[in-house]
Structures are given as structure tokens and as C-alpha cells.
Amino acid sequence: MHKLTQILKQRVDTTNAAPVVTPIYQNSAFEAHSPFFYTRKNNPNVEELEQVFCALEESAFAVCCSTGMAAISNTLLLLKPGDHLVINQLIYGCSYVLFERFCQQYQIELTVLDLTSDEGINAMPQDVSMVLFETPTNPFVRSIAIAAVVKQAKKCNPNCVVVVDNTWATPLFQQPLMHGADLSLYSATKYFSGHSDVMGGVLTTNDPVLAQHLREARFYHGAILDPNSAWLLRRSMQTFTIRMRAHGQATTQIRDWLQQQSGVEAVFYPQIDGSQLKGYATLLFFTLAESLSERYDEFVSALQLFDTGTGMACVTSMVARPYSGSHASMNEQQKQQMGLTRQLVRLSIGLEEVDDLIADLSQAFEQIGANELNA
């Protein structure tokens, strides 16, 4: 055999290698007899990660996508022209823009309701085809009663698909499928990754027909998670529950401290009712006192331990301004309707020592003269 042929054909026999961690299957093609077929369809690292999510969500199926937005796009592909999509008013900015554009392009009616209230839920249109909402919401972490939305939506149309973006609760603290939702959706870029170093999206369901549609959509639209990201996410999931508990403890301490600061007008933290939402981790919003709103940028620059930017739910603390960050793509009127002001600060509490974070926030408040408000 020529050297070149040998180089091309050389393989090590891994039959008895028995690694303690599944290796990264960094290949696009599998032999014809393999059940994995082609990595755009399925890959061992993706499948292993899906098994982890099924265990966590207690769901029959999980479908991993390349990003949270890819998971949302995959879900929208369940709709057809003439359908009617209902979303909640408080929602991640990019999701909102995608819904507007997608619905306009494919002649799907879009209705925006306030599903945090009974009036909003009761306003559900009779011809609703899909309801999609986050709970807790981004921003303001308000809760939506999943079972009540499901009941109303299915009363209007028994075939309506109810989708909960459960990114901020995670299946550890809230299991939408248990409350009757058809699909749970996640940006895995957030808590599941937890280290700001990998992107991903997840959909979970108990419905085999929905699972099949989502897998096919993912295959034909090329939205599957890549093997490297699946491997990294799988590794992150090994510390998931420990990280979540630590985030949760630190966040409640900082929430309590913020509530006592004169420089703070309001703190937003979700209502943990114990039946739908059983706990919470890191995302916290607060508004700076009106008289300090002009000093917002100064406050953020004074913080030494909070990184700025769009990252959230990771091991390092972050600070961001939703008005010009996560919701920048929404217009002024939409932001006003959401109650999204320039004063709103978003904190994502990491795993640093809480005392250090409080000392950092404290000196930043001092720098902008918040302490003088006490006098």
C-alpha cells in the first residue's frame, strides 16, 4: 500500500479503550451501518447531552440546537401561514424581533398579551395556534401561571402548542411540562453552560410527534449543536446543581442588601411559590433612584468585579443595561410598553465571595453619591 493511502486509512482500535468520559466525536460522517448517520442529523455527544436534559426535565425527548435562538426558530417552524402566535409582552428583545419578522414574512398573525395577569390570559384569541412565553420573564423576572395559560389556550384550541422559555428557572426549579406545557425551551448558553464559553439551545417534550417535527426541522435547517459544544455543555452539566445552589444563595443575599440601599428605587426578584417555581438562581434587576439616573454609566464603570456585556448566568458576575443591551433591538414604543427604562440595571451574580461583591456595589453607589441620599 502506498504511504499516502496508509495515512488516509490509518485508524487506532478503540474497541477496548474504555475512556471514563465520552470523547468528542469530531466527525461529520459515520459508516453506513451507524445509527448516527451524519452529524447534522445526530452525533453521540449531542445524544448524550440530550439524555442528560431528559433526566433533568423528566421528559421523554430532548432536542439540542446550536443556540437558544436556533431552538426558538425550530419551534416557529411548527407554524404555517394563517396560524396565530401569541406571545407575552415581557420577552427577550431578539425573540420579539424574530417573532415580528417571522410572522410578517409567513402571514402568521401575532398577538402580544400580558400573560402575567388573568385579564391577559382571558384575552387569548379563539384561533390561537401557539403560545410562547418566558417565566420568569426577561426583564423584571415576573411569573406567568403555566397551568392557567395551558387551560385557556387548549380551551380555545385543543391543538394549540404551548411553549415555555424556561431559561431563567431551568428544570431544576420549574418543570413546565408537568404543568401541561407541550414544549420547554432553553438558551443553554446561560446556566447550562455557566462559563460564558459555549452556545446552545434545548427543546424538551413528552410528545413524540412534536419531537419528530423538531428533529426533522433541525436536520433540514441545519440547526444541530456541534460536537465540541455538546461535549463542553455535557461537562458543565456535571456541576450544574452545585452552581445553581451557590448562585441562588449569593443572589438572595445581594437582593436583601440592595433592598436596603437608598440609591435603589426597586429590586426585581421572582416570586418563589413552591408549586410552580421552586427556587431561583442569579438574574436580578433593580432600578437606580430617579435622582441618580443620569449617573448610570458612572455607576457601571465604577464596578470592578462585574464584567459588562451580554453574558449572564455564568460563574463570573455581570452587569448590563437591558435598555441598550438585551432589548436594544426593540423600538422606543415597545420598550415603553414593557416599562423598560434607562434606569434599569441587570445583575447576574457569579460565584465570587458575596462580601466582595457587596463591597464593590457599595463603593460604586458611594461614587455616584447614593450615600448622600441617606442623609
Q: Which is nearer to ligand PLP, 42 or 137 (CB)?
A: 137
User: Contact region for ligand PLP (CB under 6 A) — 67-75, 112-120, 147-155, 274-282?
Assistant: 67-75
Provide the H-helix boundaries in 110-268: 118-122, 146-156, 170-173, 208-221, 227-237, 240-259
* Per-residue contact flags (x/-) with ligand PLP for residues 194 to 213, judged by CB under 6 A: -----x-x------------
Q: Which of 42, 75, 129, 138 binds ligand PLP (CB under 6 A)?
A: 138
CB 130 → ligand PLP: shortest distance, Å? 16
CB 35 → ligand PLP: shortest distance, Å? 28
The residue sitting closest to ligand PLP, measured at its beta carbon, is 68
CB atoms within 10 A of CB 244: 20
Q: Which of 22, 30, 67, 221 binds ligand PLP (CB under 6 A)?
A: 67
* Residue 171 sits in the site that holds ligand PLP (CB under 6 A): no
Cβ atoms 256, 357 nearer than 8 A: no
Cβ atoms 320, 309 nearer than 8 A: yes
CA distances from 302 to 100, 266, 358 (A): 37, 21, 13
Cβ atoms 244, 170 nearer than 8 A: yes
Q: Is 348 helix (H, G, I), strand (E, B) or coil?
A: strand
Distance (Å, rounded) from C-alpha 68 to C-alpha 185? Answer: 8
CB 93 → ligand PLP: shortest distance, Å? 8
Distance (Å, rounded) from C-alpha 189 to C-alpha 309? Answer: 14
User: Contact region for ligand PLP (CB under 6 A) — 64-72, 104-112, 153-161, 349-357?
Assistant: 64-72
Closest CA to 63 of 167, 175, 229, 219: 219
* Per-residue contact flags (x/-) with ligand PLP for residues 318 to 347, judged by CB under 6 A: ------------------------------
Indicate if the alpha-carbon torsion angle 319, 321, 327, 329 is positive or negative. Answer: negative
CB 310 → ligand PLP: shortest distance, Å? 7
CB 185 → ligand PLP: shortest distance, Å? 7
CB 290 → ligand PLP: shortest distance, Å? 27
Q: Which is nearer to ligand PLP, 334 or 367 (CB)?
A: 334
Q: Which is nearer to ligand PLP, 68 or 194 (CB)?
A: 68
- Count of residues that interact with ligand PLP, criterion CB under 6 A: 13
Q: Is 97 helix (H, G, I), strand (E, B) or coil?
A: helix
Closest CA to 277 of 286, 285, 269: 269
* Residue 68 sits in the site that holds ligand PLP (CB under 6 A): yes
Query: Do strands 161-165 and 183-187 pair parallel, antiparallel, or not at all (unpaired)?
Result: parallel
Q: Which is nearer to ligand PLP, 83 or 134 (CB)?
A: 134
Distance (Å, rounded) from C-alpha 244 to C-alpha 118? Answer: 31
For residue 154, how many C-alpha atoms fall within 13 Å in the half-sphere facing its CB?
A: 12
Q: Which of 49, 56, 63, 69 binds ligand PLP (CB under 6 A)?
A: 69
Residues 6+ apart with CB under 8 A from 127: 84, 109, 156, 157
CB 187 → ligand PLP: shortest distance, Å? 3
* Residue 133 sits in the site that holds ligand PLP (CB under 6 A): no
* Residue 167 sits in the site that holds ligand PLP (CB under 6 A): yes
Residues that bind ligand PLP in the complex, under the rule CB under 6 A = 67-69, 92, 95, 134, 138, 165, 167, 187, 189, 199, 201
